[in-house]
Amino acid sequence: MNNLRWEPYLLASCLKAEGLLQKHFLGEKRLLFILAKGFDIRMNFVLKRLLELCPDINIECWLICFNEGEDSSSHKYAQRVQKNFDEFKLLMEGKKYEEKCINLWKEEGNRKRRIGDREAASILNNYDDIKNYSEIFVDISALPRGVYFSLIGKILHIIDSKPENSKSINFVVTAAENARIDASITENTIDTEGKFLVGFMGGVKSLSEREESLIWLPIMGEDKEPHISVAYGELEPTEVCPIFPFPAKNPRRPDALLIKYHKLLFDRLKVEPQNIMYVPEQNPFEAYKILVKTVRNYNNSLQILRGCRAALSTFSSKLLSIGTLLAAYQVNIVDKQDIIGVMNVDARGYEIENIDAWEEFNKESELFLIWLTGAPYEL
Amino acid sequence: MSQRTRNPFKLRASEKIESDSTFLRIYSPVILEDFAEKHKEQKLWNDVLFIRSSPGAGKSSLLRIFEPITLVTLFNNKSNPSLKDLREYLKRIEVMDNNQIRLLGVSLHCNRNYEILEDLPIDDIKKKRFFFALINARIILATLRGLLSLKSLKFPEDLDKINFDYPNPSADTAAISFPCTGSQLYKWAENIESRVYKALDSFLPIDQIQPEGHNELFTFSLVANSKIYINGDEIKIRILFMFDDTHKLSLGQREFLLKYIIEQRKNYNIWISERLEALTDKENLRSYLERDYNEINLESIWQKKESKFKSIVTNIANRRAQISTEDVPEFDQNLADSLNEAVYKDDFEKAFNVILKRIELFSKQTRKFVDWTKYLKSADLSPLERLSLARATEILVHKNLTQPQTTMDMELSEKELLAGINSTIQNASEYFISQEFKLPYYYGFDRVIQVSSYNIDQFLQFSSELYEGMLSNRLSTRSSVITPEEQQKIIKRVVNEKWNELGRLIPFPEQVKKFLQRFHEYALKETNRPTIPYAPGVTGFALKEPSELKLINDGFWLDDELYQPLVNVLSTCISFNLLEKREISQGKKGSDAETVFYLNRWLCVRFNLPFGYGGWRHIKPGELIKWTK
């Protein structure tokens, strides 16, 4: 039970990632590249870089097109979406791509609920859907958290339960990381309720039905007070262990976050100072290791009280969110304990500042490869 | 987790207050008086009772009182004088007496997991069967946990001390044979729950999981009609099934559940607590009086008992302040309730002169007000009193000038002036002075209560920030008292935050905000008429057809597709407590009550309107629909 599925791990960024891609795609490969059609300028960043580095690659794309509903404020960026799509078509000229449309919402009278996670997970059903590919890349650069979690979880699950003797698949999550672009996008209509993502519900029940303690491990990021309040209200945890990104590019970042959230954490959430934890800002695998270790420790310590369940939330970068995904996958599916839920609080729309400067900002985007299955783990 | 409570006003919803004793210490039981009345009318037990309100009115806190663990804590603190009121109320409704607890509350929280069942790729019949199975399982699990809590036994070790003997087993209960132990029943229910749960969460196809489905909600009968033994002794106790947050079910699930419960009506005690948003638009917009089922609407209770609401929030505020670790044990007394006259002396005098000049202008046209003007100048009053008198006089001057001319142009006496100034005019004067001369208006404990609009959570939103101000003042000045200016600043800040967050909280946010803005413009115009015909100001409206259309039903627009945007906006405003619905009787005794929609009082602050509920206007639906566009 102390083993870790991703230890050692393969994480590469920037030039190292580019070199790795060039080397990896030298042989006969067939790649399924999954990305989202969206307004984020990073939508084509990874695909473009990949095609520049490996122009002869045998690639097929699934383009996830999500319907955000009529009242989403993101509609005002339709031109931006079209521009990205035009660029995508140009990049994929002569190559095969398929649009996979999903609804983020299901409407019922005046009410609606999020179904994007379930819809995303259902774009593939079983191993037959992916058996013809040697590589699967999911690029999360323009995908919302509420969509890519369940999708990645499902792909991992299918690969892990593939028929014996079938060939291995290299499954890689890619991201174009850029703090300036992240900071220029503000979520403006936060959901009033949090949601456990499909495949990562972890058997967490409401307070009145719960028989064990619930530990909440939120990874903190900027401007997320409403998200944190909503998730806390939904979870009503026994214990909160806020996690701050550190080491970070800006070494003062955790201090700034702590000052910003002081009242919320200590007055409302009643956090004990010794519960504060840190994970490296740009390493999802290290975050995963820390999260898994923490949950296992809590669960062992609380065994006499019927153990515990844990809820993970990422209010920080997408890279770190992959760390929470891997931790939940490790404990729930690899360890078969099913005690971690991933609580997500989404937004109905986005506001963008400095959109004119995006082209410039995008030059600083960093390519990340988070290698999850396949060759590196079979050595 | 830490038990520190620096600012106890930040502990909001009951479910977030961890300890039962803390919850009991800060819970005010006045609301139970309505339950006692229902009990007296024999409408409380053996029936279905709906408990409804907009968010934050105290539904979950109310249900928490009836949970076994809370009742046990209360019962074990018999000598605690601060809990005496609550114990007395519970005795009156036969929940406990001096010797025992007489009720087992089975609490069922309708979280989103039920709703997710609707998204499974299976047919509707299976969805309904899984839904019923999940409710059945959770009723059993909650009952068993409740029984153990009630008898202070350990979970799960003592489940075997419980025995169930059910006389009417059915096909659905085939997997268990009665009599059975609590442990056997628990395993059966837990298995059903975990399989449904797995179906919701698994990446596997559902046919590989095969959860159990049920055709009936038979566990009401199983729990209510079984002979239950603990350690061999039969437990005879009233069982109350409490469904909390049924608005979180899907529309179909809520309909199945309510239909089943209401059609069965087998004298079970079932309480259904839900937000108003669960109701259809029509149910929300029509009068409460048209509902033919047993319902308690928490906000409408307070509307009828304003003084009780004041006593409940005073009680809440003081109980919370007393458990703070920061040694600021009072709340209301730290809210200054008058302006510092020494500080504002010059402002008052300047304002007085401005108003006096305006009155003197009228005196040039008629002799009527000459004595009034003289009195204003000579009266032995403080600057603030003189200013209030001047503004009230100005209102009376306007009223007098618009009345039909019945008297000659004769001077009106000082006595006539003082006789004309009633409390409505005094209130209006204070409001108009504050608006014209930029003086604080939204301050003092009474106004903090008013800004809460009969909603406990809203009261805590404002009071937590005001209490924070008291804590800061105490650090910086050693006095916890916050001035009227500081209070108004804090209240305005909270109001602005509430306004800004509307976009994420409600459906149709743009239309709702537009509608409220347009009503604000209208209300401000009507309020600021010189004769203040709707004193202290217009803050509400009733829908009225034009007189020539009297043959048309007043509610015709509810069924007209053209009016759907208005229905959406009004229904949203009611569900989310932006408009308060009140039944107002006017004129002759026995005349029909009007449904008046008043702005929630925090919106009055947003729009700089007074707090009084007196002023409202009839507005045609045709006019209102324009405000949504």
- For B291-318, how does the pLDDT look when each residue is reduced to its tens digit (9 = 90+)? 557 888 888 887 777 787 888 888 888 8
Residue A349 reports pLDDT greater than 60: yes
Query: Which residue intervals of chain A bear CATH 3.40.50?
Result: 10-184+353-377, 190-346
Of B15, B89, B4, nearest in space to B56 by CA: B15
Structural domain includes residue B299 = yes
CB B434 within 8 A of CB B440: yes
pLDDT > 90 in chain B, percent = 48
Q: What is the mean pLDDT of the segment spanning A333-340? A: 94
> Letter for the amino acid at A54?
C
Q: In the structure, what pLDDT confidence band is assigned to residue B370 with cuts at 50, 70 and 90?
A: confident
- Return the pLDDT at B622: 85
Q: Edge to edge, what strands does the sheet with B238-244 contain?
A: B103-109, B238-244, B269-275, B48-53, B295-297
- Using CB atoms and an 8 Å cut-off, which of residues 155-174 of chain B contact chain A? 155-156
Asked whether residue B603 carries a pLDDT value surpassing 70, the answer given is yes
- What pLDDT, on the 0 to 100 scale, is given for residue B169? 82
- For residue A65, the SS3 value is strand
The mean pLDDT of A306-312, rounded to a whole number, is: 95
Q: Do A203 and B115 touch (CB under 8 A)?
A: no
Q: CA A282 to CA A177: how far, in whole Å? A: 9
Residue B2 has pLDDT above 50, yes or no: no
- Average pLDDT (B379-386) is 91
Contact (Cβ atoms closer than 8 angstroms) between residue B225 and residue B166: yes
Give tens-digit pLDDT for B510-534.
Answer: 899 999 999 999 999 988 888 777 7
Coil, helix or strand for B312?
A: helix
Residues B291 and B345 in one domain: no
Q: Do B109 and A236 touch (CB under 8 A)?
A: no
| Contact (CB, 8 A) for A59 and A136 | no
Judge whether residue A217 has pLDDT over 60: yes
Indicate the class that CATH gives domain A190-346: alpha beta
Give residue-wise pLDDT tens across range B64-100: 999 999 999 999 988 888 889 899 999 999 999 999 9
Which pLDDT score is estimated for A111? 74
Looking at the domain assignment, is residue B167 inside a domain?
A: yes
Shared domain for B78 and B170, answered yes or no, is yes
Q: Give the separation between CA B328 and CA B9, rounded to whole angstroms.
A: 12
Q: In terms of CA atoms, which chain A residue is nearest residue B55?
A: A192
| Whether the bond into A8 is cis, omega within 30 of 0 | yes
Q: What percent of chain B has pLDDT over 70?
A: 91
Same domain assignment for residues B264 and B143: yes
How confident is the model at residue B586, as a pLDDT?
67
* Residue B530 resides in a domain: yes
Distance from CA of B505 to the nearest CA of A (A): 6
Nearest to B51 by CA among B273, B293, B300: B273
What is the C-alpha separation between B458 and A101, in angstroms, rounded?
A: 42
Residues of A in contact with B108 (CB under 8 A): 208
pLDDT classification of A53: cutoffs 50, 70, 90? very high
> Which among A375, A377, A372 is positioned nearest to A174, based on CA atoms?
A372
Chain A residues whose CB is inside 8 A of the B508 CB are: 71
Distance CA(A305)–CA(A319), nearest Å, equals: 34
Please report the pLDDT score of residue B550 as a whole number: 47
Using CB atoms within 10 A of its CB, is residue A61 exposed (0-12), middle (13-18) or buried (19+)?
A: buried
pLDDT at B482: 95
What is the spatial distance between Cα B119 and Cα B131, in angstroms, rounded to a whole number? 12
Chain B residues whose CB is inside 8 A of the A202 CB are: 201
| Torsion angle of C-alpha atoms B479, B483, B488, B490, degrees rounded to 10 | -10
Within 115-154 of B, beta carbons closer than 8 Å to A belong to: 115, 118-119, 121, 138, 141-142, 145
E strand intervals along A241-282: 243-245, 277-279
Asked whether the predicted pLDDT for residue B209 surpasses 80, the reply is yes
- Residue A314: Cβ-neighbour burial (10 angstroms; 0-12, 13-18, 19+): buried
Whether the CA torsion B530, B536, B541, B545 is positive or negative: it is negative
Q: How far apart are CA A102 and CA A122, in angstroms?
A: 9
- Give the pLDDT score at B477: 80
ipTM of the complex as predicted = 0.88
Closest in A191, A203, A238 to B1, CB measured? A238
**In the prediction, which pLDDT does B13 show?**
52
Instruction: Work out the angle between the directed axes of helices B124-150 and B251-264 (0-180°, nearest 10).
Output: 60
Select from B93, B28, B12, B506 the least CA-distant residue to B271.
B93
For B556, residues 6+ apart whose C-beta sits below 8 A from its C-beta are B545
Evaluate if residue B494 carries a pLDDT over 70. yes
A287 versus B406: the higher-pLDDT residue is: A287
Instruction: Determine if residue B286 is left, alpha or beta; phi over 0 gives left, psi from -120 to 50 gives alpha, anything else beta.
Output: beta
pLDDT tens for B314-361 read 888 888 898 888 889 999 999 999 999 999 999 999 999 999 999 988
Residues B282 and B345 placed together within one structural domain of the fold: no
A108–B250 CB contact, under 8 Å: yes
B557 within a domain of the structure (yes/no): yes
User: How far away is chain A from the Cα of B508, in angstroms, using its nearest Cα?
Assistant: 8
Q: Of B411, B437, B463, which residue is a domain's last?
A: B437
Among B304, B319, B349, the domain boundary falls at B304
Judgement on whether residues B126 and B256 belong to the same structural domain of the protein: yes
Q: Sign (positive/negative) of CA torsion A346, B120, B274, A268?
A: negative
Which of B9-23, B137-151, B545-559 has the weakest average pLDDT?
Answer: B545-559
What is the model's pLDDT at position B557? Answer: 66
Q: Which residue from A108, A154, A206 is facing B109, i.e. has the nearest CB?
A: A206
Under 8 Å between Cβ of B566 and B624 = yes
Report the b/e string of B282-321 with b at 16+ CB within 10 A. Answer: eebbbeeeeeeeeebbbbbbbbebeebbbebbebbbbbbb
Domain membership flag for residue B240: yes
Taking 50 as the threshold, does the pLDDT of residue B238 lie above it? yes
Residue B551 has pLDDT above 50, yes or no: no
Q: Is residue B471 part of a domain?
A: no
Side chain identity, residue B247:
H
Lowest mean pLDDT among A35-39, A354-358, B124-128, B188-192: A354-358
pLDDT at A371: 98
C-beta separation of B411 from B362 below 8 A:
no
| Position B312 in a domain | no
User: A110 and B203: CB-CB below 8 Å?
Assistant: no
Confidence grade of residue B587 (pLDDT, cut at 50, 70, 90): low
pLDDT at position A286: 97
SS3 B566: helix
Where are the strands (E) in B166-213, listed by range? 180-181
User: For residue B598, what are the domain limits?
Assistant: 507-629
Residue B562 lies inside a defined structural domain of this protein:
yes
Sign of the Cα torsion B311, B315, B318, B324 reads: negative
- Claim to verify: residue B297 and residue B361 sit in the same structural domain: no
Contact B36, B93 (CB under 8 A): yes
Topology adopted by domain A10-184+353-377: Rossmann fold (3.40.50)
In whole angstroms, give the CA distance from residue B456 to residue B460. 6
Q: What is the mean pLDDT of residues A191-196?
A: 88
Number of A to B CB contacts under 8 A, please give it.
Answer: 100
Structural domain ending residue among the three candidates B406, B437, B468: B437
Partner residue facing A109 (CB), from B251, B501, B504: B251
- The angle formed by the CA atoms of residues A175, A179 and A181, to the nearest 5 degrees, is 85
Q: Is the model's pLDDT at B497 over the cut of 60? A: yes
Q: Quick one: three-class SS letters along A122-149?
A: CCCCCHHHCCCCCEEEEECCCCCHHHHH
Residues B219, B281, single domain; the answer is yes
Domain count, chain B: 3
Position B548 confidence tier, pLDDT thresholds 50, 70, 90: very low
Token reading at B68: 């076994």
Same domain for B374 and B237: no
Query: According to the model, what pLDDT value does residue A1 have?
Result: 57
By the 10 Å C-beta count (0-12 exposed, 13-18 middle, 19+ buried), B39 is classed as: middle
So what's the pLDDT on residue B549? Answer: 46
Host H or E run for residue B600: none
* A164-189 confidence digits (pLDDT tens): 889 999 999 999 999 889 888 888 77
Interface test with B, best of A186, A206, A211 (most B CBs within 10 A): A206
B395 with B257, same domain: the answer is no
